């Protein structure tokens, strides 16, 4: 990483480019800009930015294709990509993360959100000794957790909790999307709610265990249900741990660390 972190912003809107450059420059970043996917790829290969903010809707080559090409190129694959777009459906976010984006933000977004995501992206890819400590229980960079919950509030709060501790977080709000994302992205761990529309968490966990591509991924159940029978059903479905949503955040983090180490955590 350069002494003054360099961020490449790729967007076909001059207004967005100017606003993003202004926000980032006030934070001490060096900002490069490009208005097309092709120009963005060229800038990335030539200037080796520390992070890229990438719009989806670009003329010619769209943002998903740009991201895929960045990740296929050995010279640019390590650069974290933040998708910033007006397309905010779950399918759009899934495509962005499958293409290799670290974060996916929808427009309009507050300045503080953008600044925080850029800082998190830089921390996640900083060389050893340069990343700021985040306290006990920090995951290694690039550890990926798939978070599955149909509550936007839970998704937002838990994603922030995990991102702040160095995890890469993928999200899904339905069981069907979770199964697709688990098979394609192969996360290191799945944090799974029980109460979901259509396929519930037990069914999702059973299907994960029946699929050779996902059967090895540890599943931690996260739920408002505290009855012993619910915990029993979770373990019978293949979960390695069960955490109540009423528990303190530290308890959740400890259970995740235990699951990532291959240990069965105690029942909540």
Do 185 and 250 sit in the same domain of this protein? Answer: yes
Q: In this structure, is residue 95 part of a structural domain?
A: yes
d(CA 198, CA 183): 19
Buried b (16+ CB within 10 A) or exposed e, 226-247: eeeebbebbeebbbbbbbbbee
Q: In this structure, is residue 253 part of a structural domain?
A: yes
Contact present, 265 and 240 (Cβ < 8 Å): yes
Domain limit, last residue, from 124, 158, 189: 124
Do 10 and 119 sit in the same domain of this protein? Answer: yes
Do 174 and 247 sit in the same domain of this protein? Answer: yes
Contact present, 233 and 202 (Cβ < 8 Å): yes
Do 91 and 16 sit in the same domain of this protein? Answer: yes
Number of domains in the chain: 2
Q: In this structure, is residue 268 part of a structural domain?
A: no
- The domain in which residue 149 lies consists of 144-260
pLDDT in tens, the chain (268 residues): 556 899 999 999 999 899 889 989 988 999 999 999 999 999 999 999 999 999 999 999 999 999 999 988 989 988 999 988 876 677 777 778 778 888 888 876 677 778 888 888 887 666 543 443 333 343 344 688 999 999 888 888 898 888 878 888 899 999 999 999 998 888 899 999 999 988 999 999 999 999 998 999 999 998 887 788 888 898 999 998 898 888 888 888 888 888 887 644 443 3
Q: In this structure, is residue 137 part of a structural domain?
A: no
């Amino acid at each position: 990483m350069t002494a003054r972190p360099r961020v490449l912003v790729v967007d076909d809107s001059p207004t967005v480019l100017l606003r993003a450059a202004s926000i980032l420059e006030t934070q001490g970043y060096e900002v490069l800009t490009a208005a097309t996917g092709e120009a963005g790829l060229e800038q990335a290969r030539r200037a080796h930015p520390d992070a890229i903010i990438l719009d989806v809707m670009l003329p010619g080559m769209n943002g998903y294709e740009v991201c895929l090409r960045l990740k296929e190129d050995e010279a640019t694959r390590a650069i974290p990509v933040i998708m910033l777009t007006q397309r905010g459906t779950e399918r759009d976010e899934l495509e962005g993360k499958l293409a290799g984006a670290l974060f996916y933000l929808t427009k309009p977004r507050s300045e503080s959100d953008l600044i925080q995501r850029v800082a998190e992206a830089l921390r996640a890819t900083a060389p050893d000794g340069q990343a700021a400590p985040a306290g006990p229980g920090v995951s290694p960079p690039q550890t990926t957790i798939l978070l599955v919950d149909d509550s936007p509030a839970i998704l937002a709060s838990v994603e922030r909790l995990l991102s702040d501790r160095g995890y890469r977080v993928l999200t899904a709000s339905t069981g069907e999307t979770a199964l697709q994302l688990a098979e394609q992205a192969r996360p290191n761990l799945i944090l799974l709610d029980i109460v979901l529309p259509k396929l519930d968490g037990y069914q999702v966990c059973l299907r994960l265990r029946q699929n050779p591509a996902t059967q090895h991924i540890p599943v931690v159940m996260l739920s408002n249900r505290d009855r012993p029978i619910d915990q029993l059903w979770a373990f019978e479905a293949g979960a390695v741990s069960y955490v109540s949503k009423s528990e303190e955040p530290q308890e959740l983090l400890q259970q995740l660390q235990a699951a990532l180490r291959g240990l069965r955590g105690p029942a909540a």
